[in-house]
Structure 1
C-alpha cells in the first residue's frame, strides 16, 4: 500500500513537472517599466496568461533608455527571448537607430500600445491615438472661442503613438480656428520634461487659453507648471494618461479633462490575440481599445472608476 501511494505521488509530481515544462511561453518586451501606464498593462498581461494557461517571460528596459543611453536595447531583449524558446512575442516597439529595417523576428509578434515599421507584426493592439487626440481637443470645444491660443507639448518625433495624438488634437484645432502658438518637443524624462515645459510656457503666462499634454511624463510636468501659475491666468489643461495624483487636480479644476487609456485591457488583449494566433486563429491587423475622458463631473461614473481602479499602485 505504501509503495503504491509512493508511486502515485512520484507520478503526480512528474506529471506536474512535464505539464509545467510544456506550457507555452510568451515573450514580452515593453518600452518601459516605471511609468504608471505600464503597471496595469503588465497586470492585464499576467491575467490573460493565467486565463489562457501560458507563461510570460518579460524583459523591458527602463523608461526612455531605448531613446537615450542604450539605443536598440530592445533588439537584445528580443534575441534573448527567441533563443529562450518563446512561441511568440508581445512588443511595445521603440524606434531603432542605424540598422536595416524591418527587423525579422523568428516568432509571431503582436505590437502593443503603438505600431512600428521597424519590425513586422501580425497585429497591433492599441488606442486609436489619432481619434483619442481628437477626443482631447473636443473636450475644449464648449469652452474655447475661435482664435483661442493653444500650446501642444509634443513628446518626440519618432514615437508613433504620441505623434498620432498630437496630430489628432491639431486637426481639431485647425477645424475650430484655434491658434497653436506653442508646439515644442519637450522630451520623455520627468525632470527634463518639466524643465522644458516651464521654459516653453513661461513667456505666455496669462495669454494661453489651453495646453495639451499627450502622455504621462508631459502631463505630470505640465500640471506642476500650471499649478504654479496664478489662478486667474491658468490655461485649461487637457492631459493624456493617468497618475493617481491627477485626481486632486481634476477635483479642483486644475486639469480640465484627462483622456485615459485602458492599458490593463490593452495588455490583456495583446496576449489574448497572440495566443489565438498561435492556435491558428488569424488576428485582425488592428485592434483598438477604447479610452475614457475623465472630468470633474464624471469622476464617480462606474465605467470611469473601473478604468482608474487598474491604476492603483
Structure 2
C-alpha cells in the first residue's frame, strides 16, 4: 500500500502497565473500571497483568515481580502497582520506569506516589461507629487478615487505637487469612467459644467480612454481636437491611484506580506527584444506605 502524500500517522498511545494484588475479589472490579475510564480520558493504553487473589502470599511468591519484569521489557512507560510482599529478594526493588502504588504502600519497591484509603483513619472510623452503642469494658473481636498486608494492618491498628481509648476489652484478635473458605472456617472456630459474650466484631477486608457475616448469621439473633465490616459485596446490602451488619466502611476503588492512572500519567508529562493521595471512605448503615452519595460509591461495584 502506498501512503498518501501528506498523510499524518497517529503517534502510538502511551502504554501503562498495571499489576494488582488479585482479580477475583469484588474490590478489584471497580478499581479496574476506574483505571480504564482514566485511560480512555487520557488516551493511554493499559496493559494489565494481575495474579489470582492470594497467589503471591501462598503458592507463587514473587509472582508480581515476574509480571513487572514482563511489563518493563514489553516497553510500558510506567506502572501502577498494588504491591504484595516479596520473599527472599533484596529490597527495595527499583523498577526501570516510574511506579505508582495503589490501594496500599510498600517498602519492597520504590514508588513516586501512593493512592489509597487512609487506612489507619478508616479503621478508627470503623471503631467510632460503635462508640454510641458500646460501654466501657465491652468485649471485642478483631479478625486480622495477615501480618504482611500493610493496608489491613493499618485498619486493624486504627480500630484498636479507639478500642484502647474507649477501654473496650479486645478478647479475640487472631489472623484468619485471606481465602474465603479457610477464613470462614477460622472465624467460626475463633468465635465459637464466645457466642453470646461478644459485643462487637470488626472484619477489616472483604474476605474476613464475608466469613464473619456467615458465622454471625448462624448465631441466635439475641446473641449476635454488632458486626462492623470493611469493603463491599452485594450480599452486604441485605445484611444491612436485616441489621446483621451494623456498619460497613466502604472504600472507593473506582476513584482510587482513576487517580492512580491520572497521577502516573501526569508524572510522565513532567509534573511532580504528591507522595500520598487519600481517597475517602463512606460509612454505610441501615439508616443511610439509600442516600445518593452512598449509592454512587456502591454502584461502581457492579460488574
Question: TM-score normalised to the size of structure 2?
Answer: 0.98
What number of residue pairs does the alignment pair up?
302
Are the structure 2 counterparts of residues 11 and 308 from structure 1 closer, same or farther at C-alpha, using a change threshold of 3 Å? farther
Q: Which residue of 2 aligns with 1:99?
A: 89
Counterpart in the other structure of 2:186: 196
CA distance in 1, matches of 2:219, 2:143: 17
1:117-152 Cα deviation digits (max 9, x unpaired)? 000000000000000000000000000000000000
Among candidates 58, 63, 78, match of residue 73 of structure 1: 63
Deviation at 1:192, TM superposition (A): 0.2
Q: What is the CA distance between 1:312 and its match in structure 2?
A: 1.2
**Which of 140, 147, 150 is equivalent to 1:150?**
140
Deviations 1:136-170 (A, max 9, x none): 00000000000000000000001000000000000
Aligned to 2:207: 217
Following the alignment from structure 1 to structure 2, what is the Cα–Cα distance between the partners of residues 126 and 103?
20
- In structure 2, the residue matched to 1:264 is 254
2:174 and 2:21 mapped to 1: Cα distance?
Answer: 23
For residue 287 of structure 1, give the secondary structure of its aligned residue in structure 2. strand
Q: 1:138 aligns with which of 128, 138, 146?
A: 128
- Aligned position for 2:161: 171
Shift of 1:11: 4.6
In 1, Cα distance between the equivalents of 2:164 and 2:218? Answer: 29
Q: In 1, Cα distance between the equivalents of 2:93 and 2:302?
A: 36
SS, match of residue 82 in structure 1: helix
2: CA distance, partners of 1:124 / 1:104: 15
- 1:13-28 paired onto structure 2 within 5 Å: 15=8, 18-19=9-10, 22-28=12-18
SS at match of 1:248: helix
The alignment status of 1:127 with 2:120, answered yes or no, reads: no
Q: Distance in 1 between matches of 2:13 and 2:239?
A: 45
Question: How do 1:52-91 residues align onto structure 2 when only pairs under 5 Å count?
Answer: 52-91=42-81
Secondary structure of the corresponding residue to residue 71 of structure 1: coil
Compared CA separation, residues 237 and 11, structure 1 to 2 (3 A)? farther
- Once the two structures are superposed, residues 17-57 of structure 1 have per-residue CA deviations (whole angstroms, 9 ceiling, x without a partner) of x42x6210000000000000000000000000000000000
Q: Tell me the TM-score normalized by structure 1.
A: 0.95
Gaps of 5+ in 1: 1-5
RMSD, aligned α-carbons: 1.3
Distance 1:90-1:297 versus aligned 2 partners, 3 A rule: same
SS across alignment from 2:288: coil
C-alpha separation in 2, matches of 1:11 and 1:145: 79
Runs of 4+ in 1 over 2 A off after TM superposition: none
1:11, 1:262 → 2: CA distance?
A: 48
Question: Runs of 5+ in structure 2 lacking a partner?
Answer: none
Other-structure match for 1:251: 241
Structure with a larger share of its residues in helix: 1
